[in-house]
Structure 1
Amino acid sequence: MRGRYLRIVGPHADPVRVLGFHERDGHSDASAAWESFTSLWNWSAPLAAAVPSDPSGAGPLVRGVAGGFSVSGQWRLPPAGAGEAVGGRWLALRLTGHPRRAGEAGEAFGVAGPDVFVVSSKVLPRPTGEARASGDARGPGSGTVFRLADVYVPGGFATSSAGTPLGAGDAVFVWAAVAGLAFGAARRLTDALTGLDAPGAMMSPAGAAAELAAALHDERLSLAARLHGAARAAAGDRPAAEAVLGEQVRRAARLVHQVVSAAYEYGLAFRGSAAEDPLISLVDDSTPILQYMRYAVDLLPPDERTPTVEGDTR
């Protein structure tokens, strides 16, 4: 039921509605909301993709680490994607190559974990010497082969190939959804800050939380107005409206990061055991969302002519 409803709030829905739905979802449970989003929607689909390539048959190794994943292994770019990856900013590493089939909504919603990991093209090494010697670097019908060793991929840069592929034209939907998740997760953190006991503090946790929540509220209203304007823009005005919206998303990302950091740091002096700290748990749950939102405009620009800021995932 929840998966079907998420599909209704998709790329063709009013982006202000998308923002509101995902904000409620992020506020309820940031970790589950992010897993749902990446299970249902494959935002990495427009990126150049590499697939596992190891003559020994051993697959790539992906390990969970603090804040994300560590990826190692040998990968191959398809011929059509080789030049694109070299010149592009981002590359998707796909563990599997299966296309999503009709009727797999249940499986897509319940995938065990991500199988696409996005990295900056800056981490790409030159083709390995052994690949060159064996002819695998540029063989007939094959693309460039390269090897990665313990490359860090933030949790927010992982998604599922089983999700419905999204294109560059779906950028407004993606921005609205991830901004909603981030606003909701940050608001949940201010709620937790309100509940802290801090006798004698110059400003009570509740007072600090109210100020932070007000900043979130004002930024959310501003973003909602931009989303409404982009959705209503005439075809000829849409690229300019989406470029302005992209800058608004960047600003919202900075504000959300500041609110999360301020809430965590303010509550630091008034909290007990780290093992029982609700703020730590909430920050951990929201980390992938914040990681992705920071680069959302660069990862999925609305138009290749729209200027973007170079991102680096390292």
Structure 2
Amino acid sequence: MEQWKVFVAIVEHGGSVQAADKMYKSQSAISHSLKKMESTLKHSLFTVEGRKLTLTPLGKLLLPKAKSLLGQATQMEVLSNQYRDGMLNEIAIAVDVLVPIDLLQDALDRLAQCHPGLNIRVFETALSGTKQYLEEGEVQFGIASTLPTGHNLEPFISVPLVCVSHIDHPLQKMDKINYETLKQYFQVVIRDSGKQALDTGWLGAPKRWTVTNISTSLHLVLEGKCFAWLPEHSVSQYIKEGKLAPVPLVHGKKRGVFLQMAVSGKYSLFKEVQDMVSIFRDVGAKYQLEQELSEELDSPEQVLTNEPIGVTE
């Protein structure tokens, strides 16, 4: 198991030196572990290209299996620590930052009523963060647009995103703006919280500021510094107050991110987890119904996507 940890760490951190630093080991110990592993397998896992280690075809094949193996081992340890007399005393969940905080609070309140002694650890994530936590066995439940296979998945909600700026921003003085025009101005984007460093910035955002949470992004937009694609639920009040306004785009004035729920199979039989899934399913259905009713009153052009637009790195 330790050798597989070394193998994955070398890949994720970009080399044996970086892996040694992250694992608090000497570089010689990391190199020895890798050589011993390759000797056992009778195949190389890396090739050296210049000063960079690159995975061999076998290394690429084994990497996802190694991650799965390590994730399962972590889940076993976590489960034994959380288990008490057929019940769980703690559940860890990873929730994408696009999920409305009111929805999350409603779900946690209901779960606390059902299981007063149950502790909940919430990891707030963006892009691949939830997927990573589930794969590594750090959480038992997750909500995101991208989730790993091998888990129990079901639809959750679609979150509308609106491209907005301050009412005094230069973009608000234009008509029929296209993507090329937007590229001339700063866009604030959210960094990927996972190790994959995904980039789904819909413009490529040549001028951008990268932050770690939506509240910072919203603050910068309210200060008139930039524009951003933000969840409608986080900007609707500021639009009503006349502080923000949708950017007058020619196309794609509103976009939606489709979020799903995932449960680790090892936990799906626990009553606490079953109740939690049921609660999130209910609050999600309530949110979706409210969105549909709102769309009947005001239905601007919308594009549905499974990736958070304006989220990057």
Query: Which has more helix, going by share of residues?
Result: 1
Structure showing greater Rg: 2
* Larger relative contact order (Cα-Cα within 8 Å, sequence gap ≥ 6): 1
TM-score calculated relative to the size of structure 1: 0.22
TM-score calculated relative to the size of structure 2: 0.22
